[in-house]
Structures are given as structure tokens and as C-alpha cells.
Chain A
Amino acid sequence: MIPVILLLAFLALILFINRRQLGVSTMADYATANHSIGVLGITFGFLATWYVGAGYTVFSGFAVSFGMIGMYVIPYGIITLLVMYLVAEKTFIWGKKYQLRTQSELLGLRYRSDFIRVLTGFAGVALSVPWLLMEWYTIGYVFNYATDGFISPLLGMIIGIFVVVFYVALGGMRSVVTANIVQGLYMMIVGSAVLIYVLYSELGGLSAAMDRLFYETPEAMIFPGPGWDVSPNYWTAIIITSGLGGFMWPWVYNKLFAADSIRTIKQSVLFAPVLGILSFALLFILSMALHPLPFAQENPEEALFWAHSQAGVWPLGLFAVLVMAASLGTVSGILNAMSTAISGDIAQVINRKITERTALRIARWSVVVMSIGALVGAYLKEGQLVFLALMTYQGMIVLSPVVLLGLYWRRANKFGAVAGFLLGMVVSFGLTLTEPEFIQTYGWTPGVYGFLTTLIIMLVAGYLRPVESHVDNLWQDIATARNRSVDSNLAIQGNNPG
């Protein structure tokens, strides 16, 4: 009974703190909160969206089964944060100046192409669907496990959907970020505390747990882990694929448009690695430590729930809320980004006569329709969700040259971006689906081949064609903003000679 009370209380808290955010009346406010979010919101918005609920089931199960390889998340997180730091300035300046709301709109502006805007908007929506389904399923699973089967997965999903749809559809980005702050704080403080408690109460503490691992299955303490023979290139490939793809998700990237300044974005990059490293390390240490236990080996994805249930109803309830918080953070970000893309990057491009009011209505109904569709999908396709979700990273990495070269290389052009993106996707998903032998032999994941295809095509196309004329204006926007900053600093120093 305690776990279900904690879960319902957490959902009620999310609705309560959002009660003043539900009256969004413009599309700009819905999509970007009118560029008003400060460092707390961006930091926890980023972390709560990035941490998926499945991290406590599927990905921790990976560490339970194979040990240290689960730590790939830490170097991959550093690459993702470097990408975030690098794209911050231009994304913010162009976003504010041209009132951009989505990553696809940014790419449409940079390459002066509605086709790229629709293409990347559609790809972002399509690749996000498996994550939405998986997170819905996780919410249902949490309710089912925490109530010992009293609440069915379907009913659990329906309860979760009701809450998320309500605050995302009515409050947009502002509500999403407000909820993310609560979810992120819970994950970092209460979540970490309960993981530490279980590590000590059930496994005798860090030293005892690691010593047990050392004497019983030492191979779990190094790559690639027990019973798995894989090339070291696989380690490199999953870090590069995830690291470059990690910040390309529209539901993560779009948070940049909500920031109130470049300082805010870069400050959040400072806080995120430390918070991320601490909590991820804790999660994976506990997961690794469970490896020697027979139940955990037989049920790796259930292992963390099982360990917390052994510690008592309170730890189980608090852990269930932790997983729920991670899932809600991701789901709300995905719904906000997908509905904004459907309304702004697809509907408003196909029919430019759509008013802002209608666009907002389309976005809100998109949230409702997608949620119901995802509920059905998650219920029917549960067994294939993990495979589909992991496969989507092979697509997201292909987008990274289009974004990074677009922001940092004047010669990057529309032709190269379209051809590179489409052919990169064909290579990446072609190799994923056909699984030729060299993928296993060399260890490089299909996304790496897709990424290289896109990169080479964009570089060749960039040198074959002259720099597009509109690019100079965009670069001039950046130079103007920087020059103003220099002038303003010189003026301040002039006024304060001492």
C-alpha cells in the first residue's frame, strides 16, 4: 500500500506545482516558455529528460548481466555535454533573433530549406516513438511491480498518461520544465539516498559488494564482462554513437530554445556532469554488485526492483517513484517536442496560413492523440520496445554532422545535408537490419558507418559548391552579438579604471 500511496502522491505533487503553469496561450510559450528558463530549469530539464525510466530496468540490467560495460554512459555523457556546450551560442543567438522553437526550424533556417525542416522534424518524431512507447511501458511496469500486481500495467499506463497529458497539453514547455525540476531533484537527492541505502542494507556496503564481485566473478569488473566476446571497437562505437546522438534528440535539444541566456546553458553544462557522474556511477555500481546473486542473473532487468523490495516497502516505494520520475521527465519532454514538431515543423510548413492559435490547438491535440497511440503500441509491442529504442540511436548519430557542420562550417550546404542525411540513414538502418558479418567482426556499430557516410557527403558537397549567400548573414548575426559584448565590456572597464 505504501508504494502506491507514494506514487500517487508524487503524481499529485507534479500536478500541484504546475497549477499556475496551465494557461499557456501562444505557440511560442508552449514550445519555448518564451526563452525564460533559468539555470535550475535547464540543468534539471536536461537531466530529467536524458535519464530514462528504462535506465533502472533495461540499462541497469545490462550492467547486472555484463558488469563494467554499463559505465559507457559516463564517457558518452561527457561527449554529449561537449556538444551541448558547443552548439549553445549559435543556437541561442539564432533562436532568439529568429524566434526559433525547434531543432528542425534551426536547421531549416541554417540551410534555408523547408525540406530539411520537414525531413528532420519527421525523423525526430519517428525516432522518438519507440522511446515514448518504452517509457509508457515502464510507467505501467512500475505501478504493477510496486503494487504487487494490484494495479495492472495497462491501468498504470492510463494513470500516468492522464497526468502527463494534462500538464504537457495545457502548460507546454513551462510545465515540462517545472515538473523536471521536481523530478530531477527527487532523482538526485532521494533517488541517490535510496540507492545508497540498499547498497548498504542488502549488500553490506561498497567494499563488501565489490569484494564479493572480485572473488566470485572478477570478469564482471572489466570490459566486456562475463560470457561475452566482443571487439574493443564495440566499446568505442557505443560511446561515439550515443555521445554524438545523445544531444540530437529534439526533446533534449529543444530545451536550449527555452533558456534565458547563453550563460544559463553553459552553467547547466557545469552542473550536469557532476550530478550525472555521481548518480550514474551509483546506479551502475549497485547494478554490478547485484551480478553474483542468482535471482539478479536470471532476471537482470528486474534486479533493482527486487533488491529494493528485499529492503522493505519504503525503499521499494521510494525507488518506484524514482523510476516514475525518470520516465515522466522523458515522456513529457518527448510529447512537448513531438507536438511542437508536428504543429510547427510539419503542419505550419505544409499550410502557412495556419494561425498561431490553430497551431497551438494542433500541438495540444497531438499530445492527446500520440499518448493514446503510444498506450496501444506499448501494450501490444512490449517485447520489441528495447530493441527498437536502442536502434534509434543508429539514426540520431546521422543527424549530428548536419547539426554540427551547419553550426560551425560555412561551406555546409543544403544539398550535402539532404543527400548526406538520407544516405546516412539508409546505410545505418540498412546495416542494422541486414547485420552483415563485418559488423560483428570489427565491432563498429551501424550508426558509425552512417555517420561517416553523412560526414563525407557533406564535406564533398561543401567543397563542390560555393558558400550559400544567406550564410554570411547568419554568421554576421553571431559576429554582431560578439562585438556588442566586447564593446560593452570595454565600456564597463573604462568606467571602472581601478
Chain B
Amino acid sequence: MSATHKHSRRRTALFITLILATTFLSTFPPAFLWANTIEPRWMALPFAMVWHIGLALIAAVFFAVWYLLESRSGALDLQVDDAEDAA
């Protein structure tokens, strides 16, 4: 496996971990129950709701950074022959 592919795999693992971490914090009982409170409220919204929206926005940022890094490395410009060309 080339160094480029190893780097790509490490990057994929990192971003999967980061995005799943946001999901873990909003989904699994220890973190989710900790955040399942009304106070402190923000813009009148309960903290529980702010927690979920905030984590989702953080996940969206992780997606954006992941995309930008993949884009810069050329991983999104794969050339694929279709079946007719390959034949």
C-alpha cells in the first residue's frame, strides 16, 4: 500500500471517529442524559435542544473539512472507465 493510500485511510478513520463522537454525545445515555436538561437555556431553547443542534452543526463542520482535504488530495476526481470503454 502506498504512502498516499495509508494517509487517506488514516484521514478517513480520523473523520469517521470525529463524526461518530458527535453522534455518540447526542445519542448514548451517559452523555445524552447529562445534556437532557432545560437549563441553561439559550435563545429560550432548552439546553437539550441546543446540545443536539450544536453537535449536528459541529458534525457538519467535520464533513466540510473532510471534504476539503479530500478535494485537495485529488481523491474526489477519480476516473472510471465504464463497462463499454473497458471492453
Q: Does A239 contact B (CB under 8 A)?
A: yes
A115-123, A157-165, A461-469, A481-489: which lies at the interface: A481-489
Chain B's nearest CB lies how many Å from the CB of A473?
Answer: 12
Measured CB to CB, the residues of B under 8 A from A are 2, 4-5, 8, 16, 19-20, 22-23, 26-29, 32-33, 36-38, 41, 43-46, 48-49, 52-53, 55-57, 59-60, 63-64, 66-67, 70-71, 73-84, 86
Q: Does A240 contact B (CB under 8 A)?
A: yes
Q: Which residues of A178-234 are within 8 A (CB) of B?
A: 206-207, 209-211, 214, 218, 221-223, 232-233
For the complex of A and B, 10 pairs with smallest distance between CB atoms? A210-B44, A221-B46, A489-B74, A263-B76, A207-B44, A481-B78, A273-B60, A75-B26, A232-B29, A96-B80
Q: Does A86 contact B (CB under 8 A)?
A: yes
By the criterion CB–CB under 8 Å, are B19 and A482 in contact? no
> Given the complex of chains A and B, what is the CA–CA distance between A223 and B19 in angstroms?
23
- Taking A75-B23, A209-B44, A274-B57 as given, write out 18 further A-B residue pairs in contact, using a Cβ cutoff of 8 Å, ordered by the A residue number: A68-B49, A71-B49, A74-B53, A75-B55, A78-B19, A82-B20, A89-B78, A92-B78, A96-B82, A99-B83, A210-B45, A210-B46, A223-B32, A239-B26, A261-B77, A270-B64, A281-B49, A281-B53
Q: In the complex where A78-B59, A222-B46 touch, is A270 in contact with B83 (Cβ < 8 A)?
A: no
By the criterion CB–CB under 8 Å, are B48 and A223 in contact? yes
> Given the complex of chains A and B, what is the CA–CA distance between A270 and B70 in angstroms?
13
Contact of A488 among B19, B44, B74 (CB under 8 A): B74
> Given the complex of chains A and B, what is the CA–CA distance between A485 and B73 in angstroms?
9
Q: Which residues of A337-370 are within 8 A (CB) of B?
A: none
Chain A's nearest CB lies how many Å from the CB of B6?
Answer: 12
By the criterion CB–CB under 8 Å, are B49 and A97 in contact? no
By the criterion CB–CB under 8 Å, are B56 and A77 in contact? yes
Complex interface: chain B residues within 8 A of A71 (CB): 48-49, 52-53
What bracket does the count of chain A residues touching chain B fall in?
35 or more
Measured CB to CB, the residues of A under 8 A from B are 68, 71, 74-75, 77-79, 81-82, 85-86, 89, 92-93, 96-99, 206-207, 209-211, 214, 218, 221-223, 232-233, 235-236, 239-240, 243, 261-263, 266-267, 269-270, 273-274, 277, 281, 285, 481-482, 484-486, 488-489
Chain B's nearest CB lies how many Å from the CB of A332?
Answer: 26
Closest B residue to A220 by beta carbon equals B46
Complex interface: chain A residues within 8 A of B83 (CB): 97-99
Complex interface: chain B residues within 8 A of A481 (CB): 78-80
Complex interface: chain B residues within 8 A of A221 (CB): 38, 46, 48-49
Complex interface: chain A residues within 8 A of B43 (CB): 206-207
